[in-house]
């Protein structure tokens, strides 16, 4: 009985035009990857495949690789971690290893220099689908 009532209520709201189904198609595509901004998990870099390995709503194309403290930004704390572990072997992708080879060295320092101050994102996906703690989600 409850399911029938919920179905009836949803049908009523759908007919009345008040049911929210997400963004409407036909919007702008800032990066030219054929995916509209409202559906694009990386609006700043073309990424037609929309690959999002960690499923946080932020595409791999907009992911910062030198973020080790979980604040979604490559910054001073991450740079210090590279300095403390320079020349050491660490688990791949952690403790200062930006390039995932398991060794903290020159390539990691260069990667940090290119990403310093950058954050994951921006993603055009709404907050309901994008994790704002790990990605700059728009609209906020």
Rounded-to-integer distance, Cα 53 and Cα 43, Å:
17
Residue-by-residue DSSP string for 17-38? T-----PPS----TT-SSS-GG
Please say whether the beta carbons of 50 and 35 come within 8 A.
yes
Rounded-to-integer distance, Cα 72 and Cα 66, Å:
9
Domain ranges of the chain: 76-115
Q: What is the pLDDT of residues 36-48, one digit of tens each?
A: 998 999 999 999 9
Bridge partners, residue 73, by sequence: 119
Whether pTM > 0.85 for this model: the answer is no
Question: Predicted confidence band at 5 (pLDDT cuts at 50, 70, 90)?
Answer: low
CA angle at 35 for the pair 132 and 58, rounded to the nearest 5°: 20
Q: What is the pLDDT of residues 71-125, one digit of tens each?
A: 889 999 999 999 999 999 999 988 999 999 999 999 999 999 999 999 999 999 8
Torsion, Cα 107 109 113 117, to 10 degrees, reads 120
């Amino acid at each position: 009985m409850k399911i029938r009532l919920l179905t009836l209520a949803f049908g009523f709201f759908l007919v009345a035009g008040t049911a929210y189904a997400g963004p409407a198609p036909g919007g702008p595509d800032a990066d030219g990857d054929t995916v509209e901004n409202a559906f694009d998990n990386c609006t700043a870099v073309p990424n037609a495949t929309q690959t999002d390995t960690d499923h946080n709503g932020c595409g791999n194309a907009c992911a910062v690789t030198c973020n080790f403290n979980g604040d979604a930004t490559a910054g001073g704390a991450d740079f210090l971690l590279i300095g403390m572990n320079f020349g050491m072997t660490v688990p791949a992708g952690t403790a200062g290893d930006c390039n995932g080879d398991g060794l903290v060295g020159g390539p990691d320092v260069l990667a940090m220099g290119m990403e310093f101050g950058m954050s994951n994102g921006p993603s055009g996906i709404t907050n309901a689908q994008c994790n704002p703690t790990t990605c700059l989600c728009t609209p906020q």
